[in-house]
Amino acid sequence: MTEYIAIAALNQYAYCSHRCWRMFCVGEFTDNQYTIEGTSLHDRVHTFGEDNREETWKVRAIWLKSEQYNLIGKSDLIELENNRWIPVEYKRGKKGEWDNDELQVCAQALCLEEMTGTVVKTGYVYYAQTHQRQLVEISDALRQDTINTIAEVTKLIETGIMPPAVYGKKCKGCSLHDQCLPKLAQKVNKYHED
């Protein structure tokens, strides 16, 4: 059995498997403007605290864990409303084109279900740039996607085999671009295939 998988690794893998390998197999990380803003946001929300507002109990920065799925991660915000547990993940920007944030919320929901013995039906991603909460329905399809991604990340970490860097729109905002050089890496891969 591998060590616990960091919930954040699922998000990175869904964004780019090569980036996930660099971060979680090699331990490489470089900041850019986006990651610095993201870290600063998480530093603010990753301070333990709780409060009651109307019918909702809110608790920040608690650890979530699942033995069944071998997951661990610190939550940004968990709400309890009418006996329903709701994970809320904070992101610095606005919703992107990828579903990696939903996947991260679903992984938190899987942990919460195991920890509380209840079914988690919804969660949210809060986008700081737009100050909007996006509803995440913890559907069967999203659960299956998340479980498949957990299996893929587990395999990545166990084998350490580097997925190829594939250049795409996502590379534009990636803080590891200058180490990865995805256009060059893609050319080299193609050269070896030909």
- Footprint of ligand SF4 (CB under 6 A): 16, 18-19, 165-166, 170-171, 174, 176-177, 180, 182
Long-range contacts of 166-175 (CB under 8 A, 24+ apart): 166/16, 166/18, 169/97, 170/15, 170/16, 170/98, 171/16, 173/32, 173/34, 174/16, 174/19, 174/32, 175/29, 175/30, 175/31, 175/32, 175/34, 175/35
Judged by beta carbon, residue 26 or residue 119, the one nearer ligand SF4 is: 26
Judged by beta carbon, residue 87 or residue 182, the one nearer ligand SF4 is: 182
Q: How far is the CB of 172 from ligand SF4 (least distance, A)?
A: 8
Q: How far is the CB of 86 from ligand SF4 (least distance, A)?
A: 30
Q: How far is the CB of 24 from ligand SF4 (least distance, A)?
A: 12
Judged by beta carbon, residue 60 or residue 177, the one nearer ligand SF4 is: 177
Judged by beta carbon, residue 1 or residue 161, the one nearer ligand SF4 is: 161
Q: How far is the CB of 114 from ligand SF4 (least distance, A)?
A: 31
Long-range contacts of 139-143 (CB under 8 A, 24+ apart): 142/102, 142/103, 142/106, 143/106, 143/110
